[in-house]
Chains A and B, each alone.
Chain A
Amino acid sequence: MSTNEPARPAAADYEKALVRSDQRVAEFEEDAPTPLMRLQRMLHSQPTLIPGIVLLLGVLMFSVIVGERFLDPFNLSLIVQQVTIIGILGVAQTIVVLTAGIDLSVGAIMVLTSVVMGKLAVGGGVPAPLAVSAGLIVGMVCGWINGVLVTYVRLPPFIVTLGTWSVFFALNLWYSESETIRAQDIETEAPLLQFFGTAVDLGQARLTFGSIFMLLLCLLFGYMLNRTAWGRHVFAVGDDPDSARLAGIRTERTLLSVYSLAGLVCGLAGWALIGRIGSVSPQAGQTGNLDSITAVVIGGTSLFGGRGAILGTLIGALIVGVFRNGLALSGVNVLWQEFTVGILIIVAVAIDQWLRKATS
């Protein structure tokens, strides 16, 4: 500070030496990073690299342990089918987590929207397209409510969505009267609701419209996050909300759009859920919340916001799917599936912490 040294030399004096100074300007040179630092930086800038490697290792491991039965195209495509719902919910969860938030209500929104679609279309006399639209709107409104509470009432996302999780789930039980709508009834009255269950055979592999839709949704959101201004704003808001605001981003609007979109995607998951299980059950999809967070975290998206990718979440979901499937085929007790997934989560978060140190 110069405050206490009023007798500093005038500008020209101490800058005279500048004339002879190196006229090159500051360059972006690395200060001889160690290999470990270099690895740390590379992984940091490519957050999906580790999940990609883990997925590959998982597939290799189970092809050795289980062999043919695992590598069978039908089995592999079955894994994709099995992660359809987690994948779609994962998209919603990813955009929320990128803003340094979390959405514990995704599963509840999904079930609520599937119930709305089912009740309206089956026995409610509403044409199926309208019923589906109504469900999607309900999903979006649920997300919007989360967004308003987080953005304008300024409550922590964890608390908000913990609360709305219960609220939405209770509404779901009330509206459905805790009754399941049978698959046959949906099939006769509103087959559109089961649209995403339609299977397509590609050689021996079998995909459903739902799993194809999940992949397209990942592409769409990957595009939105990386190629549009909205996506850049989502990252900036998650990274440092104060800086984002000072830099001229309407942070509130961005946050509200993220939560609303997440709600809409949960509505799509609700539709896909009907396709997956055939019926509409108020008790379905109970593990959706935690599974989606698992996929996001294993996929390398940072819970602290601003870092991550949809592709990572897709890979994260596939990792969980591969380990569950592979362990099941190996004849290992089911409890070890949960055990392994738990270890994967902890390792993923540990790696994220380590990578964050690369920049501090």
Chain B
Amino acid sequence: MSVVPVLQARGLVKRWGRVTAMDHADFDLMPGEILAVIGDNGAGKSTLIKALTGAVLPDHGEIRLDGKVVNFASPQEARAAGIETVYQNLALSPALSIADNMFLGREIRRKGPLGDWLRMLDKAEMQRIARQKLSELGLMTIQNIGQLVETLSGGQRQGVAIARAAAFGSRVIIMDEPTAALGVKESRRVLDLINDVRRKGLPIVLISHNMPHVFEVADRIHIHRLGRRHCVVDPKAISMSDAVAIMTGAAEPPAAAAA
């Protein structure tokens, strides 16, 4: 294969005491594609993406970004490399405002001496951008962008986390169950957003338990089972029930797809 995967992992292992969350897991994300990752609860999907984004340090294995080996020691480093992630727990600070959360760790300072010398934040600018990004996403109309995140509903919080990732992702966007708490209408917006992002050429990793969503948007489906990639299937060549059967161990993967 001549195309270099944007993000690739080989033989990732992660153990916590006697729990093996990743057991020689492999992963490939191709340029411009939407890759869905599905698997049972506890299959190790979240651990896999945490390892890819520097949030978990794998015990063994190798990760490559654009073909070059990377060793992210923290989520910050992955972010600096252009990988934005919506973690399953959303990684928001409830006591901070929506705008503060969106700019956490990449705050904008005032121009001139106030910013350079006194390190004063440009709150107005950050609020303006945050409001713009949120309304672009269409997930919610914002009355008060200075509202604390703890006053938002679960779905609204998810919207903030997604808007943050979509706003800043420049290389890869990873979403761990982004629609889990969203209503039908809001889920639709997120799927639209995913398609928009793909149109811009950014590859996306989507972890979801929602098979209709997965089959609708995914170019390829990575089926994760017992801490490793079980197989990769083409959603156009397989039925939802077969995919679920493979995922749960009720059926063997098609010979060509086995990883």
Which residues of A are at the interface with B, using a C-beta cutoff of 8 A? 1-4, 6-11, 14-15, 18, 21, 24-28, 41, 45, 223, 227-230, 232-233, 235-236, 238-240, 242-250, 306-307, 359
Contacts and interface: CB of A to CB of B under 8 A. Distances in A.
16 contacts: A1-B41, A10-B215, A25-B140, A25-B141, A28-B152, A228-B118, A228-B121, A229-B107, A232-B96, A243-B93, A244-B93, A244-B104, A246-B87, A247-B105, A248-B106, A359-B150
A246 B54 CA distance: 9
Given A11-B213, A359-B150, A247 B93 contact: yes
Contact of A245 (B75, B92, B95): B75
Contacts of A229: 107, 109, 119, 121
A238 B94 CA distance: 11
A249 B247 contact: no
Given A15-B184, A247-B93, A228 B120 contact: yes
Contacts, number: 149
Contacts of A227: 118, 120-121
A252 to B, nearest CB: 9
Given A6-B240, A26-B156, A246-B75, 20 more contacts: A1-B209, A2-B212, A8-B240, A11-B213, A25-B185, A25-B186, A26-B159, A26-B183, A227-B121, A228-B120, A229-B119, A239-B96, A242-B89, A243-B89, A243-B92, A245-B55, A245-B74, A246-B55, A249-B76, A359-B94
Residue from A24, A228, A229 with most neighbouring chain B CB atoms (10 Å):
A229
Contacts of A1: 41, 209
A324 to B, nearest CB: 32
Interface residues of B, number: 65
B90 interface: yes
Contacts of A307: 95
A240 B184 CA distance: 30
A261 B250 CA distance: 59
Contacts of A306: 93-95
Interface of B: 40-41, 55, 74-76, 79, 85, 87, 89-96, 100-101, 104-107, 109, 118-121, 138-144, 147-148, 150-153, 155-156, 159, 183-186, 188-189, 209-213, 215-216, 239-241, 243-245, 247-248
B139 A246 contact: no
Nearest to B214: A2
Contacts of A27: 140-141, 143
A25 B156 contact: no
Contacts of B120: 227-228
B86 to A, nearest CB: 10
B43 to A, nearest CB: 11
A345 to B, nearest CB: 22
Residue from B105, B118, B151, B241 with most neighbouring chain A CB atoms (10 Å):
B105
A265 to B, nearest CB: 18
The 5 closest A-B pairs by CB, nearest first: A6-B241, A246-B91, A248-B105, A229-B107, A236-B93
A243 B240 contact: no
Given A2-B209, A3-B209, A243 B95 contact: no
Contacts of A246: 55, 75, 85, 87, 89, 91
B241 A7 contact: yes
A247 B150 contact: no
Contacts of B139: 25-26
A131 to B, nearest CB: 29
Contacts of A28: 140-144, 147, 151-152, 156
Nearest to A29: B143
B184 A18 contact: yes
Contacts of A247: 75, 91-93, 101, 104-105
B49 to A, nearest CB: 11
Given A27-B143, A28-B142, A248-B79, A21 B93 contact: no
Nearest to A6: B241
A277 B138 CA distance: 62
A235 B93 contact: yes
Residue from A6, A24, A27, A242 with most neighbouring chain B CB atoms (10 Å):
A6
Contact of A26 (B85, B100, B148, B186): B186
B168 to A, nearest CB: 10
A250 B54 CA distance: 12
Nearest to A240: B93
B148 A45 contact: yes
B126 to A, nearest CB: 10
A326 to B, nearest CB: 34
B175 to A, nearest CB: 14
Nearest to B187: A15
A21 B189 CA distance: 13
Contacts of B89: 242-243, 246
Contact of A18 (B75, B96, B188): B188
